[in-house]
Amino acid sequence: MELFVHRLDVIIIWYFVIQALVKILFATNRLTYLKGHWFDYLLVLLVIAETALFIRVTGLKLFGSFLGEKEIIQITKIYIVVTGLIVVDTGHHFSLMGQLIILMLIQIGGLGLMTYASFFALILRRNISLREKSMLRDMLNYENLGLISKVLASTVLFTFVLEILGALLLFWGMSGEPVSLGRHIYTSIFHSISAFCNAGFSLYSDSFMQYKSNYLVMLTISGLIIVGGLGFPVLVNLMSLRLSSAPGSGRWLKVQSRLVLRITGILLLVGFLFFLFAENNNTLLGLSWSEKLLNAFFQSVTTRTAGFNTVDIGLISIPTVLLFLVLMFIGASPGSTGGGIKTTTIGVLFAGVGSIIRGRKRIEIYKKNIPFAVLNRALVIILYSLSFVFLTTLVLSLTENLPFIDILFETFSAFGTVGLSRGITPLLSDAGKMMIILTMFFGRLGALTISLAITAPKEVYHYEYPPENVMVG
């Protein structure tokens, strides 16, 4: 009882801290608001300082087994960027309090801090500034700025409803576990949130290998991963569709939504068929054909974005490894909870290459003209991403005495914020772990975001040099 009261005190204190930070974030005049509530924010600073000092001294021993500073940094960043590469067993190494903090980081990292901050500002009846509405409009790809608050609330509520529905289905599917009712409910909620946020973290040491024959659990997890990986712009577009099919009476799927759905379907089908035939006599050996189909589909879904597994990734064949590298590199879709270069980047690239081969001076996708500037951004994303992956692989090959194929797999998994591993994550040196952290951070933010942040502003030239051809290829 005393431990319960202590944990409740911690939750109440941090609720005060979080709501204070949200209020100052959306205050119209932050300086005036701060002067009027200076004592509250002095307490906030004291709480944060005391927490940081406690972590510094104890190494997070409160949340489970002892962890050093380097492990704390790596684990925190791993959960925030929703990548399943982890140096310790989440289910056994952390206490309930630690797991709840982890779950909060996964949820925030999945939807984004801006999304949650704006949502709670609406709950607290705070006005969202025009600048923040404009950022949300770009993030959700929604034109009507006046309805952006309503769309935001609908998106977050849709997320919560879907996660609750997923938790109910998992509760039903995992009903055979010999655990208490409370633990059963908590496990279902944890895996539902982890799946929708494409995090790939499991409370089980073997991920979902024990459920490889459980159709309800496998299909529920797969469905949550797919929906979470589509991206909120696509979900908003799908939610805004009207039932009427009469011309001019309804809203139609945008080019981005159609492209995302098509590329996602192609990648799922290719991954499913390839894994089924390549691993039929390997990791799928001993399963019935229906179970082989189920596990092949599950691995095709989870490899691109999430990181759960029902087979031993260390035993898959080299051809399957190479396919997984491609799937992890492409990843999910823009505005989603997943990483990678995104499905639309590949779609625009192939459409642009096709237009160039056919001698066209414009890119057409679903009877819409796509500016060549979009193709240029796609090329920048791919070039930056490949360069960073190459650099990470090069550094790891120098710092780690491990098989090259395992290092390459770990790098692509970190970049795509997937979390699958061939078992080398705990074996990495401190330098290797820090490099993996940077790769995960780069993959979560996106190559285009990083490139725009480090490049100079666009210059306007008032002159032009004479043209000259250069041979390529």
What average pLDDT does this structure show over 318-326? 94
Residue 350 contacts residue 343 (beta carbons within 8 Å): no
**pLDDT exceeds cutoff 80 at 222:** yes
**pLDDT exceeds cutoff 90 at 202:** no
pLDDT at 7: 59
pLDDT at 120: 55
DSSP state at residue 231: -
pLDDT at 458: 59
Lowest mean pLDDT among 75-79, 252-256, 280-284: 75-79
Residue 187 contacts residue 173 (beta carbons within 8 Å): no
Tokens of 306: 């999430």
60 versus 320: the higher-pLDDT residue is 320
What average pLDDT does this structure show over 125-154? 62
**pLDDT exceeds cutoff 70 at 12:** no
Lowest mean pLDDT among 45-54, 138-147, 326-335, 407-416: 138-147
Please provide the DSSP assignment of 348-390 as one string. Answer: HHHHHHHHHHTT-SSEEETTEEE-HHHHHHHHHHHHHHHHHHH
Q: How would you label 381-391 residue by residue, b for 16+ Cβ within 10 Å and e otherwise?
A: bbebbeebbee
Tally: H helices and E strands in the chain: 20, 2
What are the tens digits of pLDDT across the range 358-411? 888 888 888 888 888 888 888 888 998 999 999 999 999 999 999 999 999 999
452 versus 370: the higher-pLDDT residue is 370
Residue 242 contacts residue 250 (beta carbons within 8 Å): yes
pLDDT at 394: 95
pLDDT at 390: 95
pLDDT at 464: 80
**pLDDT exceeds cutoff 90 at 60:** no
| Among 426, 349, 340, 348, CA closest to 389 | 340
**pLDDT exceeds cutoff 70 at 144:** no
| Among 397, 414, 253, CA closest to 331 | 414
CA torsion through residues 34, 39, 43, 49, sign: positive
- Helix or strand run (H / E) with residue 400: none
| Among 409, 204, 215, CA closest to 315 | 409
What are the tens digits of pLDDT across the range 148-157? 667 677 777 8
Q: Helix (H, G, I), strand (E, B), or coil: what is residue 336?
A: coil
Residue 343 contacts residue 267 (beta carbons within 8 Å): yes
What average pLDDT does this structure show over 236-250? 58
In the chain, the amino acid numbered 170 is L
pLDDT at 117: 55
pLDDT band at residue 59 under the 50/70/90 scheme = very low
H helix runs in 240-342, sequence order: 255-278, 289-305, 318-330
| Among 201, 251, 243, 192, CA closest to 222 | 192
Residue 441 contacts residue 434 (beta carbons within 8 Å): no
In the chain, the amino acid numbered 294 is L
Distance CA 205, CA 202 (A): 7
What are the tens digits of pLDDT across the range 67-123? 444 444 444 444 444 455 565 667 677 777 778 877 877 887 777 655 655 555 555
pLDDT at 57: 47
**pLDDT exceeds cutoff 80 at 453:** no
pLDDT at 153: 73
In the chain, the amino acid numbered 342 is K
Distance CA 140, CA 158 (A): 14
What average pLDDT does this structure show over 122-133? 59
DSSP state at residue 129: P
Strongest mean pLDDT among 87-91, 287-291, 464-468: 287-291
In the chain, the amino acid numbered 391 is L
**pLDDT exceeds cutoff 90 at 337:** no
Residue 362: how many CB atoms within 10 A of its CB? 10
pLDDT at 229: 87
- Mean of per-residue pLDDT scores for the chain: 78
Q: How would you label 110-146 residue by residue, b for 16+ Cβ within 10 Å and e otherwise?
A: bbeeebbbbbbbbeeebebeeebbeebbebbbbeeee
pLDDT at 67: 47
Percent of the chain with pLDDT over 70: 68
CA torsion through residues 337, 232, 188, 302, sign: negative
CA torsion through residues 189, 199, 430, 448, sign: negative
Distance CA 154, CA 173 (A): 28
CA dist list (Å): 176 to 171, 288, 363:
10, 21, 54
Burial class (CB in 10 A: 0-12, 13-18, 19+), 91: middle
Residue 272 contacts residue 300 (beta carbons within 8 Å): yes
Lowest mean pLDDT among 35-39, 139-143, 325-329, 376-380: 139-143
Tokens of 108: 């925030």
What average pLDDT does this structure show over 413-428? 86
Q: Which residues pair with 64 in a beta bridge?
A: 94
CA dist list (Å): 311 to 91, 208, 285:
19, 8, 10
